[in-house]
Every structure is written in structure tokens, then in C-alpha cells.
Amino acid sequence: MYEQIPDELKKLKQWCAFQLVWDEERGKNKKIPMNANTGAYGNSVDERTWADFETALASLEKYQFDGLGFYFKAPYFGVDIDDIKDDIQDYLYGNTENIAGEFIQTLASYTEYSVSGTGIHIIAKGDFPEGGRRKGNIEMYPDGRFFVMTGQVIDNYRQVNEATSAIKYLHTKYIGTNEVRQTN
């Protein structure tokens, strides 16, 4: 299941496991980061609770966790776009003129399905712009968060690539309020 996650990420000590916990108020499961070393709660801003990939993978059986997670810190950042199932399908059938196509092709970095299968996660590296982190169904984080990982790659984007210019463009267009100018 996790074989397609890039070796570059697997070599980092930025891993955790996660546990699904039902949230009555929201009517859905919350994904709670767990410390793969101890079985206690993890923390996206406390690197003492982070683990290497192999330890995190082994913790799934040892502690009966629900899956793997990846914590962010420079130079890595993540983009999470929810509720775009139709756009993903259209993109896979060649229609790249939608939000899925724009983000996947512009960032051109490791891309996988979210756990729900209705969204995407993209991990890239570079200098992340200042400003907001979320607007609508789009989230962008350089730190302080983790992604639940699926290893279900979309469209052969299997490598983590440098994407400073791309993330600045997309961040300005979708999160920020500045005039949009794409630079190469």
C-alpha cells in the first residue's frame, strides 16, 4: 500500500501513525496523529513525537493504528484539496482544465489520492509564501500539520520536486488576495 511513496520522504524522520476517532459534532471521523515510537499522541510541532518511516509502518501492527501520516517542515510543504472527485476523474480522462489538473500539473510533484478518494494531496518542496493557509476546500501547509498518506499515486507523479514558483503562483491565486502573475 505504501510502496509508491517516494524514497526521499521515507528517508526523513517526519512520520507518524494516525488513529480514526469519531467526531459526533462533525458527523465524521477525525484523524489523530499518533507517536509511532510510544503509541501515545503525536504532535505536528513537537519533533520528539516524530518517527522514521519503518518505525511508523511497524506501529500500525504494534499499536493497531489506522494508517501512516507525514509531518511537514521546511523544505517540504503540502497541498490538500477536498471534494473534487469529478475533477480528478475528468483529469485522468484528459480534461486538465479544472482545479485538479491545474494543481497537479503546475506543482508537478508527488500526488496521491486522499483517504476518502475524493481529494488529492500533493507534496513538494521549496520556499513557501507568507499568508493564509486555507480557503474553501483548498489547504496549503509548510508546517504545523500532517497528511494521512495513502500511497495511491495519481498520474505517475511519484517524485517530490522543487516548486517554489508554482506554489507562490497557486497560493496567490487561491489563498491570497494579490494580483496573480505566474513566473517561470
**Pairwise CA distance, residues 181 & 162, whole Å:** 19
**Pairwise CA distance, residues 33 & 56, whole Å:** 11
Share of the chain above pLDDT 70, in %: 96
Grid cell at residue 130:
507568507
CA proximity to 7, closest of 53, 44, 50, 47: 53
Average pLDDT over residues 31-49: 98
Please write the tens of the pLDDT for every residue from 66-97.
999 999 999 999 999 999 999 999 999 999 99
**Pairwise CA distance, residues 159 & 171, whole Å:** 21
Grid cell at residue 32:
489523530
> What SS3 state is found at 88?
helix
Please write the tens of the pLDDT for every residue from 9-26.
999 999 999 999 999 999
What is the reported pTM? 0.93
In order of their start, the domains of the chain are: 1-71 (no CATH), 72-141+152-178 (3.30.2250.10)
pLDDT at 142 over 90: yes
